[in-house]
Structure 1
Amino acid sequence: MIVEAVMLQVKQGMEEEYEEAFRQASEIISSMKGYISHELQRCMEVKGKYLLLVKWETLEDHTFGFRESNEYQQWKNLLHHFYDPFPTVEHFEKVRLSY
């Protein structure tokens, strides 16, 4: 499993509209192969700042399966116009710790 982590900055005054669009977009991403879960968190200190965490079975499920799909085009049309600056997407894997 991998975690996609994205820090998002939504244009000022568009937060409510963004959250509604994200609710719609959630249906798209949750239908994709390899999708496990996702959550959107609103920053308490900075207005318009959000953290998106998406769990995927594999990196390829996100980078190829989702990003190269027709569903991604719908996702993009719903959400990308809200961001300024455009976010950087990073992927993380769990560090195995032995005690």
Structure 2
Amino acid sequence: MANSKSAKKRIKINKRNNIQNNSYKSLMKSSKKKHLSIIEQHSGDLTDEFKSLINQSLALAISQIDKAVKKKIIHKKTAARKKSSLSRNTFALVK
């Protein structure tokens, strides 16, 4: 249990930041899952509409990862690894 006023305040701040960080991580994970599900649903279809849909979902997933890095929720090298994995999976399934 915290004894000083500043320690009590830090506990409150840490709880608030933890909630915010978890929400950003959740958005990042869900956008990645949506992107991969779109690819799997349309894996045999290579129309222009499908390609634009894939590019939009990839851009959204990468954007969510970049926002998490900007807010220092994940490390920039972790983000690079995640983005590389996403794009590698995307272009492997699209080909």
Say whether the fold is shared (TM-score over 0.5): no
Larger Rg: 2
TM-score by length of 1: 0.30
Higher-strand-fraction structure: 1
